[in-house]
Each structure stands twice: as structure tokens, then as C-alpha cells.
Structure 1
Amino acid sequence: MATPEQQAIELKNQGNKAFAAHDWPTAIDFYTKAIELYDKEPTFWSNRAQAYLKTEAYGYAIRDATKAIELKPDFVKAYYRRATAYAAILKPKDALRDFKQCVKLDPNNKDAKLKLVECEKIVRQLAFFAAIEVGDEPSAADGLDLDSMVVEPSYDGVRLEKEMTQEFIDDMMERFKNGKTIHKKYAYQIIIAVKKLVYDEPTLVEVDIPDDVQLTVCGDTHGQYFDLMELFRLNGKPSDKHWYLFNGDFVDRGSWSTEIALVLYANKWLRPNCFFINRGNHETDDMNKVYGFEGECKAKYNERTFKLFSESFSALPLATLIGKKYLVLHGGLFSDDNVTLDDIRKLDRHKQRQPGQSGLMMEMLWTDPQAEPGRGPSKRGVGLQFGPDVTKRFCEKNGLEAVIRSHEVRMEGYEEEHDGKCITVFSAPKYCDMTENKGAYINIGPDYKLRFAQFDAVPHPNIRPMAYAQSSIMSALM
């Protein structure tokens, strides 16, 4: 008869196999069962911390790595994993402390030394930015004379005049497939036009679906351009009769974020009343600086392009109400049961601009559901988690059938939780080329029934995720 410790080791080994197969949730389940049988082995906690890193549950990763360190104070891997989790939630000072400990314990660890140097650089940069921080900066559009900007005769794409056309969008999508960019003048035109459109929209956009229209709700696409093209191939491109709502996190991580952002924006410009975009937690400056979008903009266009996108992101609506039945927002629900749809309507997103560490905007962009009733600390280390009772009360109070959100990988591409009242949809299959998940989207017709569709990832050019990230610290997450 095997001892609990021996049984736990076997469960850990099964967790390692699931981890090697990129099935992070199953790996977490096995590691959890191992810990339940025998909680004195530090590798069980450290391995689960690594699996949590892969699922972006950075708060849980910090907790587990800390437990591993308590059990084994010289456990270099646990310090490294905790440091990586701190870096992921933009706490570089905490990451710096742990990387220093890694190097102290293992002076020959070249990777930890490199991460330590990068972390020190990030901390210095943050201190510099804090020291020079001023009030409202002038817009990146100031002094930009688009009328006098010349598109060279050698430019081989469709020309864009004063208004967006379907011909331009179709040509642009093909250019992007072939590894080309559009002229920077056209990028400027698109971003500036869409910033004005979305700025004038309410914080809570309210949409009714006409009798002859289908609305598709998409979750995170995270710069996975070729998978977005597959979604359009399977489900149909945006049109006057086929509306789309993209629920945030269309940039960062994947290395075709500018392509996705420009395609979505061009469609918004062409059909402003048929195409909708919610802001996600990655349409924010601090995330873009770490997770690749800023670097990609500079590599493919220039710094001004990033600054224009940044201004447009802070103008995006935070939620969409579909037929008074479904609230669609990127993260989830709130720390206070008294929050209503009217509170979202009244939220002045133009004054706040960036979500910060607390408040309604942060919660709308960052929170996650949990199976247990009530509310709990965030597995991400940012925001909170809310249970089925919280969702039920919110829906009843606001006359909703369900909340539709994104923000988290689901292995099947979507999941109905909280008695069907909390629905997650995620549209980036084989996320970051690592996770063996499907992508999904939701079609909603005039009957307001939800029809789920799944799709698989397609091949893409050999450019790795996070290729444009400024720091290789984040490569530890890949």
C-alpha cells in the first residue's frame, strides 16, 4: 500500500505530463491533489506556481511560490517564479528583490542575472517617469498635418482618401497577411477618426439587434491576426447585416497587434453603428509597455502611432448592453452589490483615462468569476473574484439574463458559469502558441438566443508571441 507521500508524487508526475502537453488546468488539478495528500513537499507548490503562471493566475503563483520558499528557503526556482509573477502584474520592485535572491543563492544562474539587470532598469525608468510626470500632455495628433503628408508613388496598396472604404479594408487585410504594413499616413487617419467616434460614444453602449441582423461577440484576440482572419472566414466578415462586438484585449502578447487594431478600427470607421469595441485591461499604457504593443508600434510604424493608439484606447467604451438582456464587459463584476447599470453609464472614463488600482473601471477590466459564493482575492493579484450569488444578484437587480465577459482562456473557447448567468468567451485559439485551447465566439440574432461557435488555430508566419516586448523578463511567461 503506497503512502500518502508516494501517492502524491505519482499525482505530481501526472501533473508534469499534463504540463508538458500544455494542458495547464489539468496540471493544476493534479498538483492540487498532490498537495492535498502531502503538503510538505516544496516542488508540488513550485510546480503549481509555474502552471498558474501559464494561466495568468499570477496572484495564485505568488502564493504558491511563497509556500514553496517557506518549506525550502533556498529554493531558487520558487524565487524565480515568484519574481516572474510579480513582474507580470507590474510590481518590478518585488520582482527585483526575488531576482536578487536567485542570484545570491545561485551566482552562476545567467538567466536570473539577466532578469535582475532588466528589472533594475525598469525600476529606474519608473522612478524617472514618476519624477517628470506632468498633467495633461498635448495630443499626439497636435501638429500632424495629414493633408500635406505625401504617400509615395511606390506605395502598392489601395489609396485612402477622406473616408474609409470596404475596398481599402479588403486590400489592407491582404497586405497584412503578406507581411506588409499600410502607409503611416493611413494608420494616423484611421486611429484619429476612430478616436473621435468612440470618444463620443457613451461609457455603456446600448445596442438592439434589428430583425435582419446577426451580432457576433468576440473575446480576446491578443494580436493573433491569422486566427482572426480564420474567424472571419468561418463566420463572415463584418457588414451592414452582420455586426460585431470585440470585447477587449485585441492587442499585446501576439505579434500582429497593430494589424488587428487597424482592421478593427477600419471596420469601426466604415460602419460606426454596426461595429463595436469594448476596452480590455490590455488597452492600457502600463500593459502595452510590458506586453509588446508599444514595441510593435515602434517597430512597424513609429512612436507617434503608439501614442495615438494610447489616446484612442482611453476613449473606448467600457461595456455594451445588448437588447437590455446581456451586459458585455471585459473583466467582470464589482466589489459592491449596489453597483447598477446607471453607475456604469455615469462613469466618466474620459476624466480617468487609465484604470488605476481600484474603482469601477479597474473592476470592469480586471475581475474574474469564482465557483465559491461571495467574493475572494484575485488569482491574478489585481482586482477580485466574484461568486455565483454576486452574479445572480447583479442580474436580478439590473434585469439582465447574463453577463458576458472575456479576459480568461477557456480550453473550449467559452464557458457558461454561475447557472448560465456568467459567460466567458475567448477568441484566441492556441493562446500564445502554448495553450491547447480552442477559440470561440457567440452569435446573437434578433431572438436574443446565444449560439456558441468554436474554431481552431491556423498556421502563422514564424514570429513568436511577445516578439516586440521590451523586456525578456516576460519571456519567462512564454
Structure 2
Amino acid sequence: MSNEPNGDQNISALEENKIKAEEAKDAANKLFSAKKYEAAIEKYSEAINLNPNVAVYYSNRSFAYFKTEAFGYAVTDADSAIKLDPSYTKGYYRRAAAKMALCKFEEAQRDFRIVVKKAPTDKDAKAKLLECEKIVKRIKFEEAIEVDSPKKNILDTLEVNSIVVEPSYGGPKFEDGKITKDFIEEMMEYFKNQKKIHRKYAFEIILAVRKIMLETPSLVDITIPQSSKLTVCGDVHGQYYDFINIFKINGVPSETNMYLFNGDFVDRGSFSLEVILTLFAYKWLYPKSLYLTRGNHETDDMNKVYGFEGEVKAKYSESMFDLFSETFSTLPLAHLINRKILVVHGGLFSRDDVTLDDIRNIDRFGKKHLEQGSLMCELLWSDPQIQPGRGPSKRGVGIQFGPDVTENFLKRNNLELLIRSHEVKENGYVIDHNGKCITVFSAPNYCDTIGNKGAIINITPDLKLEYKTFEAVPHPNIRPMAYINQLGSMFM
């Protein structure tokens, strides 16, 4: 007698799975509405496992991935939704949004055109298509201009010495042309009250840091003196009021209270300019006590989409953004603490043989070094994963690396620990890979929506680690990404 279930039982099981899948989808939708995106992803995945033939499940999970900045996974799920139902308009919309987030503007434009064709009365889709077309045209125009007439170095056109500080200016001023601790403290209070320092001082701060960074290697060695501590901070993303709260909690930078800010200083938060000018000012004042790692958001493509370019142009000028752009390209890519702890913004590599000398020798200047597969791209973009080995990036850029990859890299380079940032974490930090890979994120209640804590790591000269977590503090009623273009509503 056969043990196989009969046809009626098969049909009954399928129907039961469909009912359970709908229940999982409904539960996921509630979690999504509550902004519990990771939990929503798990429930959407449950629905897909029960019934893998429903386009909306993939589309909804795509949106949840989008909210967690897993843009690569968001594209994959949108692809699945479209494959299941080529007429499903929302699948194309989801894919267009994720492509935009990855700065793949022409691909996004194609999808928006499909959305508008399928839903001609959708005003939102039309507006986003129009904005996307503007970006594509602008990029092509800029590329054509560069071919016909190479872009001039901003330093060739910038004459800071000729800028006059008007007598009516009542903000902080340099003493004999030099930055001081008093200037920075007055500047921070000025920023807190939503005022701007004079553009002459802003330009001089950026130029001073650019000069320092041009003389800085791609991998910076840091030694913590016996009388000092070093604090590693993760992404602060333009959340100025949370950023200065770190100094309230942990003390302002000084020669003995050292800091390493590990990338993604700007974008998303609408006070990015205040954050970066404060960091640059402290870097100028304490070049051996405050360190800055380049993040994936210290790049033109990200700045054009996520708000920093628009913010600088609104508060100062296009020429100032151009100077920031050139200065970001000079930032180092990694820091080595007491020869034992490597700090990078993103993560590790698609190759097994990378050494510290390889990182030291990266020529970090110019866009071509950010191309997918390059060491620099992977330093800025990669993420850890639970599974051994390597996997495709959930972001669509860089890779994902497992605990064995971390262990092998550390062993090969005689290191004890990898510290990285790049990912929002509920408690501000997470210890992965058998204690060998730590993620720290310092922007609490990220984008005013996630509800996470921020965290910092204090490191003593004998390399003992102390974690501090903190909640978000109030800020003026200016929403995140207030300076981005019409496509911005996608990222909210």
C-alpha cells in the first residue's frame, strides 16, 4: 500500500499553505507599519516559503529590504515579483526605487517609464520619472563637458584670501588666522542655534583638512598613549544634535580624549554640514587625536541622492560642495590601532590574500577606485554575514563575508579584531564572528524612524573595550533628507 498522500490531500495541504501564507503576509504588514522591518522581512519570507507564487509577497519584502538599506536584495525581490506577474506595476516601482538608491539612474528611469505607461494617472510616478530623467540628463551633460573641457580644479578658482568677513558678522572668528578650541566651542553653539559661520572660515577649515589628508596614507597607524583613550564612533549621518551629545556623554576631543569617526558623517540627516565642519575643525586643531575614515557616503553619487549636495548648496554654494567632494577623496580608508585592531567603514574582501600593505598601497584618489570589485569599494561597502564563506551583497555593492573570512584575514595579518560600522543596529552595536567582528553605529533613532540606540566604543592603551549606548535627543523640526530632490520621498 502506497504511503504517498492522495490528490485530495495534496490540494488540501496547498490550500492550507495559501491560508497560512496570507496570515504571515498580514502579520508582516502590521510589523512593517510599526517600522519593525527586520521582523517584517522574516514574516514575508515565511509567506514566500509557504506560497512562492504570489508577486505581492516579494514586492512587500522588497520594500522592507529597501527600508533596511538592503538595496541589492530589494532589486532581487522586485525581479521575482515581475517574473511572477509582468503586469504588476508595483514590482517595477520597487525595482526603480532600489536602482535609484544604488545610483543606477538609467536603469531606474526605464522602470519608471514602465510604471507611468501602466499607470498613466499616477502623479507620484510621473514626478519621480521626471526627476530621474533630469538626473540622467545632468550626468550625461557633465560627462560630455568633462570630455570636451576637463573640469577645473576648484582650488584654481577659489580665492579664499579675498573673501571679506563683513563687520556685521557676529559669529565665531579665527585668532590671527588660526583655529582655536574657543572657536570650535563657539561654532558648535552657533550651529546648535541653527546659524552659519562665515563662508570664509568654512572654506579655510575644509582647505586645512584637505592639506592634512593629502599627506595621510590610506591606512593610518594609531598608537594610544598611556594617559589617553580612543573612542570609535560609527555612522552619525548628519544628525548634529545626537552627534554633539556624544561629546556631552564622553567628553569633547582633546589630546588625551582621542576620537576615530568611522565614516558616513553626512547624508540623510539634515545637519550634515554642521557635523562635517565640526569634525574637520577638530581634525585641524588636533590632527593626532581625531581621526576620520572615509565611508561610502563620502562620495559624489551618494551625496547627490541622499542630501549633502543639496544641503551645502542651500546653506553656502556649489563651489563649497565641490571642495568637499575633492576633500572626501583624500580621506584615509582604514585605521590600525596599536597594530592589533583594524577599523574600516564597511568590511573585508572578495580575495583571501589581502594584506595590510595592500590597503596601505591603495591609490584612493579618483572615481575609478570605487568600482565594484576593487579593494577600496569593498572596504567602504561590504558587510558581515552569519554563514561561512562569502555571499553577494544585500546592498548590491561590495560583498558579504563570513566568520571564517574574518578569522583568516585577522590571522594572516597578525590582528586581533575588526571594527566596522555601515549598518544600523538596534542597540547601537553588535559583536559577530566569534567576537572578532564588531559593528558600531552612532546615529540613534536613525532618520527619525528606526528607534535604535546609538553606541560608541572606548578603547584603552591595553586594548580593553567599553561600550556606551545612548538614546536620541530632540532636534529642530527639520525632517531628515530635507534637502534632497523630488525622489526623496522614496527614501523616507
In structure 1, the residue matched to 2:153 is: 139
Q: Which has the larger radius of gyration?
A: 2
Shift of residue 358 of structure 1?
3.1
| CA distance, structure 2, for counterparts of residue 402 and residue 136 of structure 1 | 43
| CA distance, structure 2, for counterparts of residue 102 and residue 136 of structure 1 | 37
1:12 aligns with 2:25: yes
Does the 8 Å CA contact 1:23/1:436 hold for their aligned counterparts?
no
1:19-418 mapped onto 2 (5 Å cutoff)? 19-134=32-147, 137-161=151-175, 162-350=177-365, 355-418=370-433
| CA distance, structure 2, for counterparts of residue 143 and residue 282 of structure 1 | 26
| CA distance, structure 1, for counterparts of residue 125 and residue 44 of structure 2 | 25
Shift of residue 144 of structure 1?
3.3
Q: Which residue of 422, 427, 430 maps to 2:437?
A: 422
Q: Which has the higher contact order (CA 8 A, sep 6+)?
A: 1
Shift of residue 137 of structure 1?
4.0
In structure 1, the residue matched to 2:3 is: none
Residue 458 of structure 1 aligns with an amino acid whose one-letter code is V
| CA distance, structure 1, for counterparts of residue 403 and residue 100 of structure 2 | 31
Change (3 A) 1:131 1:43: same
Shift of residue 350 of structure 1?
3.3
Shift of residue 357 of structure 1?
3.0
| CA distance, structure 1, for counterparts of residue 130 and residue 385 of structure 2 | 37
Change (3 A) 1:138 1:131: closer
Q: Which residue of 443, 446, 464 maps to 2:458?
A: 443
Residue 34 of structure 1 aligns with an amino acid whose one-letter code is A
| CA distance, structure 2, for counterparts of residue 144 and residue 113 of structure 1 | 39
Q: Which moved more, 1:355-364 or 1:420-429?
A: 355-364
Residue identity over aligned pairs, in percent, reads 57
| CA distance, structure 2, for counterparts of residue 104 and residue 267 of structure 1 | 52
Specify the SS of the correspondent of 2:325: helix
CA distances 1:88-122 after superposition (whole Å, capped 9, x unpaired):
10111111111111112111111111111111222
Specify the SS of the correspondent of 1:443: strand
Normalized against structure 1, the TM-score is what? 0.97
Change (3 A) 1:422 1:355: same
| CA distance, structure 1, for counterparts of residue 25 and residue 468 of structure 2 | 34
Q: Which moved more, 1:172-181 or 1:39-48?
A: 39-48
Residue 396 of structure 2 aligns with an amino acid whose one-letter code is G
Does the 8 Å CA contact 1:201/1:317 hold for their aligned counterparts?
yes
| CA distance, structure 1, for counterparts of residue 305 and residue 271 of structure 2 | 16
Specify the SS of the correspondent of 2:168: coil
Residue 342 of structure 2 aligns with an amino acid whose one-letter code is L
| CA distance, structure 2, for counterparts of residue 426 and residue 41 of structure 1 | 36
CA distances 1:444-464 after superposition (whole Å, capped 9, x unpaired):
011201111111111111111
Shift of residue 352 of structure 1?
5.8
CA distances 1:272-307 after superposition (whole Å, capped 9, x unpaired):
000000000111111111111111111111111111
Aligned residues: 477
Shift of residue 44 of structure 1?
1.4
| CA distance, structure 2, for counterparts of residue 354 and residue 340 of structure 1 | 18
Does the 8 Å CA contact 2:442/2:456 hold for their aligned counterparts?
yes
Specify the SS of the correspondent of 2:220: strand
Specify the SS of the correspondent of 2:352: coil
Specify the SS of the correspondent of 2:125: helix
Q: Cα RMSD (Å) of the superposition?
A: 1.5
Shift of residue 126 of structure 1?
1.8
Specify the SS of the correspondent of 1:142: helix
Does the 8 Å CA contact 1:140/1:308 hold for their aligned counterparts?
yes
Change (3 A) 1:352 1:200: farther
Specify the SS of the correspondent of 1:453: strand
Does the 8 Å CA contact 1:249/1:281 hold for their aligned counterparts?
yes
| CA distance, structure 2, for counterparts of residue 324 and residue 57 of structure 1 | 33
